Amino acid sequence: MCKTTLPGVALVMISLFISVTILGQEPENVQVPEADTSVQRVNGLRIFIDCARCDMNYIREEVPYVNYVRDVKEAQLYILETRERTGSGGNKYTYAFVGQKEFDGLSDTLVYLSRPDDTRDYQRIWRTQMLKMGMMPFVAKTPLYSEVLINPTEAMETQEVEDNWNNWVFELEFEPDFEGEESFKELELQNSVSASKITHDWKLEVDFDYRYTRTKYTYDDTLYTNDKSYQGLELLVVKSLGEHWSAGLRSELLSSSYTNIDLALDIMPSVEYNIFPYSKSTHRQLRFLYGIGSSYRIYNDTTIYDQTEELLWQQQLEIAYQVQEKWGSINVSLQGSNFFHDFSKNRVEFGGFVSIRILKGLSLRVRGSVGRINDQLSLVRGEASEAEILLQLQELQTSYNLEGGLGLTYTFGSIYNNIVNPRFGNGRRYY
């Protein structure tokens, strides 16, 4: 049973379950014409699927009447799959079908909505089904149209869905972890509880996280025991104000032994503007998020500024740009914040991921982040012990953080990639 709810796509899925069948796999009660042996696969549609988490082996087996090319410039049809989390805990898959070469100007967009309890196999079947549906207008214009049948199943009665939970979704997680050797033992507990309600007009999220780590190590016949804990309760309330604006409140109540915070309450009213319509968020976003609010803190130990508790006022600005097209993808953000009592107490962070197809067979991937840190107001006064430094039990003073990586890939040879052979695993992996 198809579980999508989006009008239009659901109508297609529910009233006409389109099943594409290759000749030789005869559907029930359908007279299959004899295959045209003069038609060869080389004349089939050349497609490039841009998808981060697709089972390409499964897709190649289910859709063998097209040619899969490994260079987007060789394709007649470019297919982009993007994924977004839905309020129910499922996923919204958006498929953009963009014609190239002789199909330039022919395009379409389809959507599939999965439920949180759908199995991976069920999602894989329906994600591939959406690919089949979107390919049909293009396949119909190639010589291989005669090798494909479209077989509708029995019509299914639509029903009015009653949501007893009123769009609320709850999630519980418990994750203990243990590591040990002769002179070192570590126990880590991670628990979380979350509740969310997401509609077109409102977004409400409540998250509680608890993390506890106990480390024991023996040195010079002496047993040392150290504990590190974190508890955090986060609240997010957002109201949609049209296709470009939204307003909301971000709040957090936390306690962290690592950052020397016994109790902290942050309240940050915020407003966001997206230059592109939110309805186009699967392809492009340029969001400006500004917040101004307060932070009340009680510290475990006296800070380097001789404070045991204080009320701080601060502001934050975030600029985020995301785009995913056939030439590649960009996902970067710039964040800045400062405290009003001293503008020198600030932080600026820039990070993201860029993937660009430079030319045939050559692609560049760059990821990284860099931050300028001048707002560590909760640092403990005095010197940290050797154990606190080595076991990272306490936040240390720093003026920056930096991480990143770069990858360059070049492939050459046959432009076609149609064959599936799972023996000995995929690529260089044998499992």
User: Domain residue spans in the chain?
Assistant: 9-26+39-151, 242-410
Q: Which of 357, 426, 429, 424 is nearest to 70 (CA)?
A: 357
Q: How far is C-alpha 126 from the chain's CA centre? A: 19
The neighbouring-strand residues paired with 122 are none
Q: What is the pLDDT of residue 24?
A: 35
Amino acid at 357: R
Q: Which of 188, 115, 147 is nearest to 35 (CA)?
A: 147
CATH number among 3.40.50, 3.30.70, 3.40.1350, 1.20.120, domain 9-26+39-151: 3.40.50
* Angle (nearest 5°) at CA 173 between 171 and 174: 160
As a dihedral over the C-alpha atoms of residue 236, residue 239, residue 244, residue 250, rounded to 10 degrees, the angle is -20
Give the chain as a 3 state SS string: CCCCCCCCHHHHHHHCCCEEEECCCCCCCCCCCCCCCCCCHHHCEEEEEECCCCCHHHHHHHCCCEEEECCHHHCCEEEEEEEEECCCCCEEEEEEEEECHHHCCCEEEEEEECCCCCCHHHHHHHHHHHHHHHHHHHHCCCHHHHHEEEECCCCCCCCCCCCCCCCEEEEEEEEEEEEEECCEEEEEEEEEEEEEEECCCEEEEEEEEEEEEEEEEEECCEEEEEEEEEEEEEEEEEEEECCCEEEEEEEEEEEECCCCEEEEEEEEEEEEEECCCHHHCCCEEEEEEEEEEEEEEEECCCECCCCCEEEEEEEEEEEEEEEEECCEEEEEEEEEEEECCEEEEEEEEEEEEEEEEEECCEEEEEEEEEEEECCCCCCECCCCCHHHHHCCCCCCCCCEEEEEEEEEEECCCCCECCCCCCCCCCCCCCC
In whole angstroms, what is the distance from residue 100 CA to residue 119 CA?
34
Report the b/e string of 48-83 with b at 16+ CB within 10 A.
bbbbeebbeeebbebbebbbbbbbbbbbbbbbbbbb
pLDDT tens track of the chain, all 431 residues? 444 444 444 433 434 333 333 333 444 444 545 555 555 677 788 889 988 778 887 888 788 888 888 788 888 999 998 888 877 777 888 899 999 988 888 888 998 888 877 777 788 888 988 999 898 888 888 888 777 777 665 554 444 446 677 878 888 889 888 888 877 788 999 999 999 888 888 899 999 999 999 988 887 778 878 888 999 999 999 999 999 999 999 999 999 998 999 999 999 999 999 999 887 776 788 999 999 999 999 999 999 899 999 999 999 999 999 887 767 788 899 999 999 999 999 999 999 988 887 876 677 889 999 999 988 888 888 776 665 555 555 566 677 788 888 888 776 665 555 554 455 554 444 44
In whole angstroms, what is the distance from residue 299 CA to residue 260 CA?
6
User: Is the torsion defined by CA of 47, 53, 56, 59 positive or negative?
Assistant: negative
Tokens 């040879």 belong to residue: 413
Tokens 């003026």 belong to residue: 399
In whole angstroms, what is the distance from residue 352 CA to residue 355 CA?
10
In whole angstroms, what is the distance from residue 353 CA to residue 51 CA?
16
Q: What is the pLDDT of residue 12?
A: 39
Q: Which of 362, 358, 354 is nearest to 409 (CA)?
A: 362
